[in-house]
Copies of this chain bind each other. A is one copy, B any other.
Amino acid sequence: MSVIVVGTMAFDAIETPFGKTDRIVGGSATYVAYAAGNFVQPIQQVSIIGYDFPQEELAELKRRGVQLEGVEVVKDKKSFFWSGKYHLDMNSRDTLVTDLNVLADFNPVVPDSYQGAEFLMLGNLDPVIQVKVIQQLKTRPRLIVMDTMNFWMDIKMKELQDVLKLVDVLMVNDSEARQLSGEFSLVRAAKKIMTMGPKFLIIKKGEHGALLFHKNEVFYAPALPLEEVFDPTGAGDTFAGGFIGHLAKTKDISFNNMKTAIIVGSAMASYCVEKFGPDRLREINKADIDTRIQQFVELVNFDIELV
């Protein structure tokens, strides 16, 4: 069982109310790989990096079952760089710097060795690039999960709608769901978005948890109430990694199993935010993950008694 992950591998410089970092490793595909690798291997990475991306980081990813044949290395350019500063509420942030660098030339090539993967995770990227990956796959994966953001709705809505027709699961946050659908009610927004292509929709609400919609069904996954969110960078990608990792591990893409996958993704994301960048994801082991999942069970568990 293999999972193809498409996204950025990059550097971030992050400032939060709790501190700031110099350039540290980040990127959507990095976070997805760190999270998903706990559940399934190999993770087949499709990305692009410059000469400056650390060899130790690549070695660590390989050690975790991440294949890098699909990661293009550009010898004379730098890796994608993003710098941002979070506001006190940690729900909003200002972008300080965006240096596309190698990302401007990203023209993904899926290696032959990746063909036949049953799961595809399309990280947030230009929808034109997302389509290119899908088109290169000779056999359609059993499940295609896609992340995107408001930026692409602003400037490439038509292209975004084209990708939507090709995917099974879309992940967006609440304001993106509203923007994409033109509906304020999330229930109405979900119904509309599910006519655009995806059969499943996950609406991420940060500290308020996440909703999973499918046909007329809905599931509400809480977020773990945390004393401190140290750095939210990568939390959404980590959630995606836990989600698709659990599905690939269990080979079950039913609505019912997606509920569990969302809890797994939420557990992984709750670790991610405890330290800067992917630091915390590097530390945790399977016992830690089990402990956290058990906390989610206790968080929502109640005895029912009818009137």
Which residues of chain A have a CB within 8 Å of any CB of chain B? Answer: 38-39, 88-89, 184-188, 205, 208-209, 211, 218-223, 225-229, 250, 256-257, 259-260, 262-264, 286, 289-290, 293-294, 297, 299-307
Shortest C-beta distance, A155 to chain B (Å), equals 26
| Known contacts A225-B211, A307-B38, A220 near B300 by CB under 8 Å | yes
CB neighbours (8 Å) of A304 from chain B are 260, 263, 293-294, 297
Contacts of A306 in B (CB 8 A): 290, 293-294
Residues B220 and A250 in contact, CB atoms below 8 Å apart: no
B222 touches A209 (CB 8 A): yes
Residues from chain B with Cβ under 8 Å of A229 in the complex: 185
> Which of A188, A228, A263, A299 has the most chain B CB within a 10 Å cutoff?
A299
| A250 pairs with B302, CB closer than 8 A | no
Residues of B within 8 A of A259 (CB): 301-303
Whether A302 pairs with B263 at a CB distance below 8 angstroms is: yes
Residues in B neighbouring A250, C-beta threshold 8 A? 305
Given A208-B205, A304-B297: A188 and B222 interface contact (C-beta under 8 Å): no
Bound form: Cα–Cα A185–B304 in Å = 30
The 11 sampled A-B contact pairs (Cβ below 8 Å) are A88-B184, A187-B227, A188-B227, A211-B225, A220-B223, A259-B302, A262-B302, A286-B307, A293-B307, A294-B304, A294-B306
Q: Which residues on the B side are within 8 Å of A186 (C-beta)? A: 225
Contact indicator A302/B208 (Cβ below 8 Å): no
Closest chain B residue to A220 by CB distance? B222
Inside 8 A of A208's CB, which chain B residues have their CB? 205, 208-209
A139 to chain B, nearest CB (A): 28
Residues of B within 8 Å of A305, CB to CB, are 250, 260
On chain B, the residues within 8 Å of A256 by CB distance are: 302-303
Q: How far is the CA of A299 from the CA of B229 in the complex (A)?
A: 26
| Contact partners of A188 in chain B: CB under 8 A | 227
CB distance from A40 to the nearest CB of B (A): 11
Measured CB to CB, the nearest residue on chain B to A306 is B290
Q: Which residues of B contact A219 (CB under 8 A)?
A: 299-300, 302
> How far does the alpha carbon of A297 sit from the alpha carbon of B225 in the complex, in Å?
20
List, in ascending order, chain B residues with CB within 8 A of A289's CB.
307
Q: Are B226 and A220 in contact (CB under 8 A)?
A: no
CA distance A39 to B260 in the complex (A): 33
A299 touches B184 (CB 8 A): no
Docked complex Cα distance between A297 and B286 (Å): 29
In angstroms, Cα B219 to Cα A28, docked, is 31
For A263, the chain B residues whose CB sits under 8 A away are: 302, 304
**A187-B260 in contact (CB<8A):** no
Q: How far is the CA of A260 from the CA of B302 in the complex (A)?
A: 6
Q: Is B260 in contact with A185, judged by CB distance below 8 angstroms?
A: no
Q: In the complex, A256 Cα to B298 Cα: how many Å?
A: 11
Given contacts A218-B225, A219-B300, A263-B304, 6 further A-B contacts (CB under 8 A): A89-B184, A187-B227, A221-B300, A250-B305, A259-B303, A286-B307
